Amino acid sequence: IQRTALEVCFYAPWCGHCKKLEPVWNEVGIEMKNMGSPVRVGKMDATSFSSNLKGDLAYNYRGPRTKDDIIEFANRVAGPLIRPLPSQHMFEHVRKRHRVFFVYVGGESPLKEKYIEVASELIVYTYFFSASEDMLPEYLTLPELPAVVVFKDGTYFVYDEYEDGDLSSWINRERFQGYLTVDGFTLYELGDTGKLVAIAVIDDKNSSVEHTRLKSIIQEVARDYRDHFHRDFQFGHMDGNDYINSLLMDDLTIPTIVVLNTSNQQYFLPDRHIENTEDMVQFINNILDGTAEAQGGDGVLQRIKRIVYDAKSTVVSVFKSSPLLGCFLFGLPLGVISIMCYGICTADTDGGVDEHEAVKKENSDRELTDDGSEEEKEEEKNGKYAELSDGELKQKDLLEKKKD
C-alpha cells in the first residue's frame, strides 16, 4: 500500500520571502505530479489557517529554497524511515545518487534500535538504509557487527562508540560532506554539529589566482587532514561577503579565510597571510590550542552591538528598496514625536509667563499695601498733634526754635 503524503507551504500574503518562493513552489508541484509521486503539494495561508493541518508525522524543512532540494526532501520523508538494500546493484545505485547516506549492517540489536530512533529525528537531513554484510562491496571491511557506516567523499567511515560518542551526535556531525559550498542555510544547520566552520570567502565569478588558491587550500586541508580535524572542523567556501559581513558585523575584504564558531558567535581571522596548506594547518592548530585571538562572541556588549547593527541595517534596507515607504514608516513617527515635544515645551512656556505675571501682580499689591501704611502713620501723627493743648504746642515750638 502506497502512502500519500502532503507537502504544504505555509505563507503570509505580505511576506517577501514567500512571494519569492512562490514560482519555485509551483515548479515543485508540477514536477512531483509528473513523477507520479505520492506526495501532494499545496500551500496554506498561515495568517488565516494556523492550526488546520493534522497528521501522525510532520517534518519541517530547513534547507535551501530550490526546486531540487525541496523535491529531494519530500521524497526522503515520504518514503520508509529505513530503506533496505537487497543487492550490491542497489547499493551502487544509491551510492551514485546520494552524496551522503548511512547504512546499518547486521541483525537485530540495541544498536539497530538506536539507529531507528536517530533516523526518525534526522530523516529530514539525510537517508538511512540497512543491509546485510554480503550485500555490501568487497572493499568494505568492518571490524565487527553490528555496525553503522557513513558513505561520503568517495569513501566510508565506521561509527566507533568509544571514539565518536553518542550515535545521534556522530550522525549529526557526519551528515555533511567534508567540503561544502556554504550559505546561510548551511551555516544554520552546521550550528547543530558543534563544529567550527573554516571558510574561504571568495568571489566564484573571479578566476584570479588568489581566489582559486584559497579555495584549493581549504579543499586540501579537508581532504588530507580529515583524521586530524574532522571531529572539530567543517570546511567549505562562501561566494561573496555580504552574508558573512552581516553575521560578523564587520567588513571583510575578499578573498579571505575566516573560522566561525556558530555556537557562541565567535570568529577567528588569520594574523598573517595564508600562503599554503601548512599555513592553514598552523592557523587551525592555533585555534585548537587557544593561542589564536577570538573576536565577536555573545556577550552583553556584542548583543547591544547586534541590536544597533540590525536596526541600522533594517533602516538602510527599507530606504534602499522603497524610499517612499521608508519616509512613511520612519518620518510619520518622528513627526508625531516632534509635535508632542513642541506641545510640551509650549505648555511649559505659557505656564512660566502666567506664573511671572502672578508674581508681578502680587509684588504690586504689596507696594500698594506698604504705601497705605505710611499714609495711615502720617494721619495718626497729625491726629496726635491735634490732640495737644495750646500751651503744649507753644512749648513745643519754643523747643524747636532753640534747636534751630
Domain containing residue 3: CATH number? 3.40.30.10
Is the residue at 327 inside a domain? no
**Tally of CB atoms within 10 A around 45:** 12
| Partner residues linked to 196 by β-bridges | 233, 261
Determine, yes or no, domain membership for 334.
Answer: no
259: three-class secondary structure by DSSP: strand
H helix or E strand, kind and range, residue 9: strand 5-11
Last residue of a domain, one of 61, 96, 112: 61
Same domain, 274 and 185: yes
Instruction: Kindly state whether residues 87 and 166 are assigned to the same domain.
Output: yes
Residues 168 and 184 in one domain: no
- Residue 123 falls inside a structural domain: yes
Q: For residues 181 and 234, give the distance between their C-alpha atoms in angstroms, rounded to a whole number.
A: 11
User: Where a domain ends, among 159, 175, 191?
Assistant: 175
Host domain of residue 203? 178-298
Q: Which three cell numbers stand for residue 86?
A: 537487497
Q: Are residues 30 and 114 in the same domain?
A: no
**Does some domain include residue 228?**
yes
Partners of 181 in the beta sheet?
A: 237
Residue 265, in any domain of the structure: yes
For residue range 325-356, list pLDDT tens digits in order. Answer: 667 666 667 777 778 787 777 765 555 555 55
- What is the b/e burial string over 59-90, where b = at least 16 CB atoms within 10 angstroms of the residue's CB? eeeeeeeebeebbebbbbbbeeebbebeeeee
CB 159 within 8 A of CB 148: yes
Same domain, 148 and 187: no
Residues of the chain with pLDDT under 70: 1-14, 38, 44-57, 302, 310, 313-322, 324-326, 328-332, 347-404
Is omega for the bond preceding 80 within 30 degrees of 0, making it cis?
A: no
Strands (E), 56-99: 83-84
**How many whole angstroms separate alpha carbon 369 and alpha carbon 374?**
9
Q: Are residues 100 and 10 in the same domain?
A: no
Give, for 138, the enclosing helix (H) or strand (E): none
Shared domain for 144 and 183, answered yes or no, is: no
Residues 87 and 140 occupy one common structural domain: yes
Last residue of a domain, one of 277, 298, 319: 298
87 plus 51 within the same structural domain: no
The answer to whether 199 touches 244, Cβ cutoff 8 Å, is yes
Q: Tell me which residues are annotated as active site.
A: 15, 18
For the chain, what is the domain count?
Answer: 3
CA-closest candidate to residue 145, choices 132, 163, 135: 132
Give yes or no: residues 98 and 163 share one domain. Answer: yes
Examine residue 144 and state whether it is found in any structural domain, yes or no. yes
The continuous run of DSSP H or E covering 217 comes out as: helix 209-224
- Distance of alpha carbon 106 from alpha carbon 110, whole angstroms: 11
Beta strands in 262-358 (DSSP E): 266-268, 295-296
Question: Within this chain, do residues 120 and 132 fall inside the same structural domain, yes or no?
Answer: yes
In a domain, 272, yes or no: yes
Count other C-beta atoms under 10 Å from residue 120's C-beta. Answer: 12
Per-residue CA distances from 102 to 13, 84, 90, 112 (Å): 40, 11, 14, 12
* Dist CA 87 CA 65 (whole Å): 34
Q: CA neighbours within 13 Å on the CB side: how many for 330?
A: 14
Is 196 in the same domain as 242?
yes
The reply to whether 49 falls in a domain is yes
Return contacts of 322-325, CB within 8 angstroms, 24+ apart.
none
Q: Whose CA is closest to 28, among 58, 73, 59?
A: 73
pLDDT at 135: 87
Asked if 81 contacts 119 with a C-beta cutoff of 8 angstroms, the reply is yes
Strands (E) in 229-354, as ranges, are 233-239, 256-261, 266-268, 295-296
- Give the per-residue pLDDT at 78: 78
